[in-house]
Structure 1
């Protein structure tokens, strides 16, 4: 049944598409078809909608004001899967926290977002000291939320407006701590609709969700599959073999990943009948190399490959159709549905074919800016170029690209110092600040160096006269930072090269290493 026939209201039309509050997604599916599968069992769309209503009812019982932030910090399961819909259903804003983060990063996100609730696993909650949690933030156990989902009163679909805030996703920047990207109901709904469209998802599809739900790419695994009426299987995996086993046991058709995961998967001995189950694989968080594409082609003979490029501030920007992967393996593709991608000169005019320019993302997928950060919002979110058919605010990515005569885009470079390792965007500043906090360390410089498996590995240079400084810094970073931020190598120097104005000459340092 069409969604418009289930509710006594009309949708809002944006960019030619019907847009509903994001918590309405489950109402699109066939009530008898599976929607969520996992260790706790399978629920069809009718059952999962009822479970969602109960979780929303539990959240409503805390009496928070509309727009209050609710954070979640937990492994994948029914609660984590439904929080992106349950919080917005009762007018709250969901703030998912990467389960890999340590207490320092979690404390920053809680304080910055002003979260009133933090729902997490008992083990994670227990790692937080009193100083990590703002006084106004109440700590709740995931088990209590799970219990509420099995009984209690259910709350029906919301009446949220398209531009109401639904989520804040924290993403690392090159100049400091993570910043919160504000996403509306329309951002999430149209993102789900766009991906379901160009991937050709259907009710027959089963998506293995291996990426963290705290990432826009990871969360969209859920939302786009539900938009299409398919079934999701959330998985926290320890090894690549766990992924292969899940594909076999759950008849998975769709898998989203990052380059390091594909490398690990292609190194396994896949039974041909298991590899043949996959119908599509999608990649973001780093470019696929030609050898890796060839390996994926040879192994997953029935799967279409979708290389993609995106940034949290605009969700997703481009994809390369599978038919063009072999002939244009280095291309980022072109704009996804509901996105307009322009390549712009410094003067604001659109560049000519094959002329480098900044990638600018326009249209209704553009987020609402950074949470309580007007300065950084003004840097990245600026009026769209005059050539835009959408106008309004656009995301100026800072990435230099070129567009060929066919309209396909090619990545040239990034103007910031972000490190991309195993699909994670890592702030060098955050690593440097933690290292410089070690007594005896005067300065620190973190950078990414080429790594075949990770894309980039973290190299940390420290300026210190203490011969034991490397060991002390390594111990501090292991205690304070998540594993994916740990340097592969720490090198001590007594002096750093300087620019004429006395600053560390990062260009000179980076030139010493093969990046």
Structure 2
């Protein structure tokens, strides 16, 4: 075991695992903690061998495997800043990320590099195939852990671009380290845990699955799945204990027939990237009764903000929970003062998990990263989320809606979430999206989109909403679609739906 006294925060993440314990397993081979440390050193040595200046950006555009799993640690060890690119992105999106980050090096699979067009790669950015990195990992010259400081830059994570062009969120060694420690703590991860990594590593939630599991001494199993059934097969084959997902994945997984002995292998389910609905919580609890369910809320700009302990899920299925370790979550009025119990306000995240802003974008940084409210015990810069929440008398938070997603109809501010949750409570509705559409009389009317197989479900939903919701929240029309568009992180692409259906025209 390496003496960790002088190591950088990121280099501490592999130190807690037993040297002979399996740390990484998958279709490309398996590594013990000792082997993974050696392999990490070789990959970092290969990167350092390019002679790039300290802090240079190194992008990776690869499928899940050893290279993708180790790049978040190897680049910082070499004194570089890692820029992971979602493998699902196309050349134009990749070109934007390369240019915006000023990447000096792009490591990609052969097919992905070959898909780049003239002008996609900025001058000074070198291209190397993933096979070159894998070869170096198997027998190259390694380097030891670095002495980087906690506030040195380690990564730039680009958001999915659902609200425009992707913007790069800047993270330090401390941001990555504290995120791993916090999640490992409240999930109670242990060396005997085996985590299925099905989310993209370019997604902060996906990357943290690696780091928090390694901090706990457990094993990770990266998987690029084609169908939800592939996930179920992995759980069975590798005795997976921990599975993280986003709501669309849980919807798909709950539509499968899980053998009881396979479902029983899962000890822990975690959700972020969107709120779980009551019906979905009920299905997960019924299908995986032995598993603890952790609903969570996060922002790339602050990593993770809240979680709901499993013991509270049945009694408070709609709650976001409360602050995770190292996070301070305030609910404030427009003037920055704290709201009273059950009074809606903006969620503001304070503390050391807050990122360093958007890469080379002071204007957008100033909009989201602002001085913490006066009531903050941390002070400094905080992330003003733009999300409206409320905190009940017991300290539990509840999502109300995004300010920019609120539907304003006849003077009423309507949360799409409330309509969507009422719609998915109807059997046969997999997912729902409520949009505001232009209406000369109301200002905006509600258009409800349903993902369902039976077009006739619209009548049942309309009847249910008339019972559950007030008149001003009733949809003008309901559109049933067999599928919804997705962004690269698997979330519903609301921008695409708004573009295609957010008009004043009648539904189909």
TM norm structure 2: 0.82
> What's 1:324 paired with?
312
> What's 2:212 paired with?
224
Q: Output one character per residue of 1:390-423: Cα deviation in whole Å (capped at 9) or x when no partner.
A: 11100000111110000000111102359999xx
Give the alignment partner of residue 237 of structure 2, picking from 245, 249, 263: 249
Give the alignment partner of residue 193 of structure 1, picking from 150, 157, 181: 181
> What's 2:4 paired with?
7
Question: C-alpha distance in 2, partners of 1:106/1:289?
Answer: 34
| 2:263 matches 1:266 | no
The answer to whether the 8 Å contact 1:398/1:414 transfers is yes
| 2:93 matches 1:105 | yes
Question: C-alpha distance in 2, partners of 1:344/1:513?
Answer: 38
User: What is the DSSP-based 3-state SS (H/G/I as helix, E as strand, rest coil) of the residue aligned with 2:398?
Assistant: strand
The answer to whether the 8 Å contact 1:260/1:453 transfers is no
Aligned pairs for 1:146-295 within 5 A: 146-172=134-160, 175-295=163-283
Q: CA deviation at 1:175?
A: 5.0
The answer to whether the 8 Å contact 1:72/1:80 transfers is yes
The answer to whether the 8 Å contact 2:88/2:488 transfers is no
The answer to whether the 8 Å contact 1:181/1:371 transfers is yes
Aligned pairs for 1:308-347 within 5 A: 308-347=296-335
| 2:9 matches 1:21 | yes
Evaluate the alpha carbon distance shift between residue 224 and residue 392 of structure 1 in structure 2; reply closer, same or farther with a 3 A threshold: same
Give the alignment partner of residue 31 of structure 1, picking from 19, 22, 28: 19
Q: Which runs of at least 4 in structure 1 moved beyond 2 Å after TM superposition?
A: 172-176, 416-421, 447-454, 480-492, 509-514
Q: Output one character per residue of 1:143-201: Cα deviation in whole Å (capped at 9) or x when no partner.
A: 01000000021110010000100000001456531100000000000000000000000
Evaluate the alpha carbon distance shift between residue 143 and residue 274 of structure 1 in structure 2; reply closer, same or farther with a 3 A threshold: same
> What's 1:91 paired with?
79
**How many equivalent residue pairs?**
439
Evaluate the alpha carbon distance shift between residue 489 and residue 165 of structure 1 in structure 2; reply closer, same or farther with a 3 A threshold: closer
User: What is the DSSP-based 3-state SS (H/G/I as helix, E as strand, rest coil) of the residue aligned with 2:214?
Assistant: helix
Gaps of 5+ in 1: 12-19, 422-427, 429-446, 455-477, 493-505
Q: Output one character per residue of 1:212-262: Cα deviation in whole Å (capped at 9) or x when no partner.
A: 000000000100000100000000000010000000000100000011111
Question: C-alpha distance in 1, partners of 2:306/2:365?
Answer: 22
| 2:377 matches 1:380 | no
Question: C-alpha distance in 1, partners of 2:257/2:276?
Answer: 21
Evaluate the alpha carbon distance shift between residue 395 and residue 490 of structure 1 in structure 2; reply closer, same or farther with a 3 A threshold: closer
Question: C-alpha distance in 2, partners of 1:30/1:359?
Answer: 40
The answer to whether the 8 Å contact 2:203/2:489 transfers is no
Question: C-alpha distance in 2, partners of 1:47/1:212?
Answer: 24
The answer to whether the 8 Å contact 1:308/1:319 transfers is yes
> What's 2:389 paired with?
401
User: What is the DSSP-based 3-state SS (H/G/I as helix, E as strand, rest coil) of the residue aligned with 2:183?
Assistant: helix
The answer to whether the 8 Å contact 1:315/1:365 transfers is yes
Question: C-alpha distance in 2, partners of 1:292/1:366?
Answer: 30
Question: C-alpha distance in 2, partners of 1:410/1:334?
Answer: 9
Q: Output one character per residue of 1:332-389: Cα deviation in whole Å (capped at 9) or x when no partner.
A: 1000000000001111111111111100000000000000000110110011111101
TM norm structure 1: 0.81
Gaps of 5+ in 2: 407-415, 421-434, 436-445, 454-484
Evaluate the alpha carbon distance shift between residue 129 and residue 482 of structure 1 in structure 2; reply closer, same or farther with a 3 A threshold: farther
> What's 2:31 paired with?
43
> What's 1:301 paired with?
289
The answer to whether the 8 Å contact 2:4/2:15 transfers is no
User: What is the DSSP-based 3-state SS (H/G/I as helix, E as strand, rest coil) of the residue aligned with 1:332?
Assistant: strand
Q: Output one character per residue of 1:79-118: Cα deviation in whole Å (capped at 9) or x when no partner.
A: 0000000000011000000111111100000000000000
Evaluate the alpha carbon distance shift between residue 201 and residue 399 of structure 1 in structure 2; reply closer, same or farther with a 3 A threshold: same
RMSD: 2.7
Aligned pairs for 1:441-480 within 5 A: 450-452=449-451
Question: C-alpha distance in 1, partners of 2:340/2:234?
Answer: 47
